[in-house]
A and B are shown apart, each in its own frame.
Chain A
């Protein structure tokens, strides 16, 4: 079971109150987690990564195990603690900018 923590705006959009728990088949990567997340909550499609390019949106970050994984390749394995469900995968709205 993979644990995912969403930022407040996306929790509202997905209509979830807290952590999301996902079953991810095969290797646990950013892409696999986000595919599973968007499959379960279609309203999140396009909000974390671009519909077409599947690139992470510029002001979204991915953190886990006190590491910034935002620039890791989408098919790289996530840390074992994320894959085991010990630690959550954090989707974060960048703490910058705004108006």
Chain B
């Protein structure tokens, strides 16, 4: 029977949750790296026992850990992230130029085909690549060198590159997203980039249709249809059917169109999940009801999924990398909250139950489906 491994990064350590295909009984292993912020943990699609983790604290900076046994044991790898050439400046909150300074790794994206190759999205925003299993890192400088870099401004969480999507059909195509610069695409494996923000609207900006400056929270893609992208923006849930060249809003009947997390069903490319969150400053579910919303029509029409989720007095958040799906026949959906709960649905969102309730605040959730 298949096994599901859920990799959970929290504010104070990493946890590995495993279950058989029924997804009813769970083994909880951790904390690994207790006391450290684990922004992201992700396994290699090419070798599921190869798992990479981003570990950091304000005291001792950034570390990268690697496991070759599915997260049982770990080895520290290279943590030297040096911007290519003279780093230059981006805009600071007050609009003045501010030097690029490495702070942390938000997201690790292993190659689809090579367990030794992976990408790291960092703050201040840049994309790094390792081809030696995370021992050494090199920046792909074309992104910051695109020309708009000096105009990028940080979001409230920092100037972070938080989303990396590899196109399974085209090794040269990569999508990334930066808060609060927007989404970008390369078609030549990272040498050159173009902003893909046409159609995004950020109403309070002087130029609401600006090429960059949009606070993109997360982007997801179904591997069978890599030209179709779904986006949760600071406001609005968006969809692109042309690899990001244009976007249209699909918020439809959502109770609010703000949120962070978003993902796509493993087998149904038009089934999309979001977790609406009240904002601009509250950052908890509307009405204290934790609801996942599912669209089976690729957007516009959404249904609330509530069975097993708290429907009163719930004031947690679900962060941008804290939702994932497994690829079992009946797709499992998972998300973690800032209240330390990790919820799982073994039936595509119809029913939910907590795997664990009292972890530190969850920063990220990734899922591996193992044979």
Please give the residue numbers on chain A whose beta carbons come within 8 Å of chain B beta carbons, in ascending order. Answer: 7, 9-10, 13, 43, 45-48, 50-52, 57-60, 93-94, 97-99
Contacts and interface: CB of A to CB of B under 8 A. Distances in A.
A46 B36 contact: no
Given A9-B36, A13-B76, A46 B59 contact: no
Interface of B: 11, 35-36, 57-63, 76, 79-80, 82
The secondary structure that dominates the A interface is loop
Interface centre among B11, B61, B79 (most CB of A within 10 A): B61
Contacts of A94: 59
26 contacts: A9-B35, A9-B36, A9-B57, A9-B59, A9-B60, A13-B60, A13-B76, A43-B63, A43-B76, A45-B79, A46-B63, A46-B80, A47-B60, A47-B61, A48-B60, A50-B61, A51-B80, A58-B58, A59-B58, A59-B59, A60-B59, A60-B60, A93-B59, A93-B60, A97-B58, A98-B58
B57 to A, nearest CB: 7
Nearest to B55: A13
Contact of A57 (B11, B61, B76, B82): B61
Interface centre among A9, A45, A57, A93 (most CB of B within 10 A): A9
Contacts of A7: 59
A29 B176 CA distance: 44
Contact of A51 (B36, B60, B82): B82
A68 B63 CA distance: 27
Contacts of B63: 13, 43, 46-47
Nearest to A97: B58
B82 A52 contact: yes
A57 B57 CA distance: 11
B58 A46 contact: no
Nearest to A93: B59
A48 B79 CA distance: 12
A60 B57 CA distance: 11
Contacts of A59: 58-59
Interface centre among B11, B60, B61, B79 (most CB of A within 10 A): B60
Given A9-B35, A9-B36, A57 B79 contact: no
B82 A46 contact: no
Contacts of B76: 13, 43
Contacts of B58: 58-59, 97-98
A7 B57 CA distance: 13
A54 B119 CA distance: 25
A23 B63 CA distance: 26
Given A46-B80, A51-B80, 11 more contacts: A9-B36, A9-B57, A43-B63, A46-B62, A46-B79, A51-B82, A52-B82, A57-B60, A58-B58, A97-B58, A99-B11
A98 B36 CA distance: 11
Contacts of B57: 9
